[in-house]
């Protein structure tokens, strides 16, 4: 495993639609491992391959239970993710991003989504998530289409000193 550099705006790869993952080789496994290590070191709660300069449709997300901070975090690896259903409820929340340092923004997202894709071995997965975890998935999936949260934000600002927002 190796740490990768996280690219920031205006890096062009962040604005491109990423290509589908078609081969689940040792190189892909290494990419996933590097993404997980990079996300944890940053520290962040999610990372999309374009954020490390790789134009492939793969995300990693690691987040624990919102109500139980002592519960272990769960790691998700999804290649070629797609939202297959979304809640009618839209919620507003504050987001930050490792690729947009120094800013936070208010973004409206679906409260819950069902995501289908492939795991790190290329096997189908279906994941139902709600709340903050659903927000993280939507944020990371946007990166695969060249969208950053500031494109969707109703307001963007520099956080006050000491204001902590988990970065996706």
58: domain CATH number is 3.90.45.10
162, part of any domain: no
Q: ∠ CA 12-9-115 to the nearest 5 degrees?
A: 80
168, part of any domain: no
167, part of any domain: no
Among 88, 140, 161, 163, which one carries the catalytic annotation? 140
164, part of any domain: no
Contact 60, 51 (CB under 8 A): no
82 in catalytic set: no
Count of domains forming the chain: 1
* Cα Rg of the chain (Å, integer): 15
Look at residue 163 in the predicted model and tell me its pLDDT.
66
Residue 49, domain extent? 12-157
151, part of any domain: yes
Residues of the chain with pLDDT under 70: 65-69, 163-167
Look at residue 72 in the predicted model and tell me its pLDDT.
85
1, part of any domain: no
166, part of any domain: no
């Amino acid at each position: 495993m190796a740490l990768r550099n996280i690219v920031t705006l205006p890096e062009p790869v962040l604005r491109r639609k990423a290509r589908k993952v078609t081969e689940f080789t040792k190189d892909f496994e290494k990419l996933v491992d590097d993404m997980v290590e990079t996300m944890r070191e940053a520290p962040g709660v999610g990372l999309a391959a374009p954020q490390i300069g790789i134009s492939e449709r793969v995300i990693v997300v690691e987040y624990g239970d919102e109500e139980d901070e002592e519960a272990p975090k769960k790691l998700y690896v999804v290649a070629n993710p797609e939202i297959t259903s979304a809640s009618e409820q839209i919620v507003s929340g504050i987001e930050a991003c490792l690729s947009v340092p120094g800013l936070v923004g208010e973004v409206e997202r679906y409260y819950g989504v069902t995501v289908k894709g492939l795991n790190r071995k290329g096997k189908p997965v279906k994941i139902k998530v709600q709340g903050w975890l659903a927000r993280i998935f939507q944020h990371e999936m946007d990166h695969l289409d060249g969208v950053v949260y500031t494109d969707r934000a109703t307001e963007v600002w520099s956080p006050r000193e000491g204001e902590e927002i988990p970065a996706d």
